[in-house]
Amino acid sequence: MDYMKDVVFSTRIRLARNIKDLPFPHRLSGEEEIYGVLMKGVEQAVSKLMKADFYKMSDMDELTKQTLVEKHLISPGLTQSQYGAVVVSKNEDVSVMINEEDHIREQCIMDGYAPEQAYQTIAAVDKEIGKVLVVAHDEKLGYLNTCPTNLGAGMRASVMLFLPALSMSGAIGSIIRAIQDLGFTTRGVYGEGSKAQGFMYQISNQAAIGQSERQILDRLNGVVMKIVDAERQARSNLAKTQGVKLKDKIMRAYGTLKYAAMMSSEEFMELLALVKWGVCEHYIDADMDKLNSLITVTQPAMLCKLAGKKLGADERDVARAAMVRNLLKDRQ
What is the contact surface with a second copy in residues (CB under 8 A)? 244-245, 247-248, 251-252, 254-262, 318, 321, 330
CB of 99 to a second copy, least distance (A): 43
Contact by Cβ (8 Å): 180, 223? no
Contact by Cβ (8 Å): 189, 202? yes
CB of 236 to a second copy, least distance (A): 18
CB of 269 to a second copy, least distance (A): 17
**Is the Cβ of residue 204 or residue 256 nearer to a second copy in the bound state?**
256
CB of 243 to a second copy, least distance (A): 10
CB of 278 to a second copy, least distance (A): 10
| 94: helix, strand or coil | strand
Burial of 192 (0-12, 13-18, 19+ CB in 10 A): exposed
**Is the Cβ of residue 69 or residue 321 nearer to a second copy in the bound state?**
321
Sign of CA dihedral 16, 155, 78, 291: positive
Looking at this protein, which amino acid is placed at residue 49? L
Contact by Cβ (8 Å): 94, 88? yes
Cα 45 from Cα 169, distance rounded (Å): 47
CB of 246 to a second copy, least distance (A): 9
**Is the Cβ of residue 187 or residue 320 nearer to a second copy in the bound state?**
320
**Is the Cβ of residue 1 or residue 261 nearer to a second copy in the bound state?**
261
Contact by Cβ (8 Å): 256, 271? yes
Q: Residue 271: how many CA atoms within 13 Å on its side-chain side?
A: 22
**Is the Cβ of residue 230 or residue 275 nearer to a second copy in the bound state?**
275
CB of 301 to a second copy, least distance (A): 22
Distances (CA, A) of 262 to 106, 258, 296, 314, 316: 38, 11, 17, 8, 8
Closest CA to 323 of 308, 300, 305, 303: 303
β-strand 85-89 against 94-98: which pairing, if any?
antiparallel
**Is the Cβ of residue 61 or residue 285 nearer to a second copy in the bound state?**
285
**Is the Cβ of residue 118 or residue 324 nearer to a second copy in the bound state?**
324
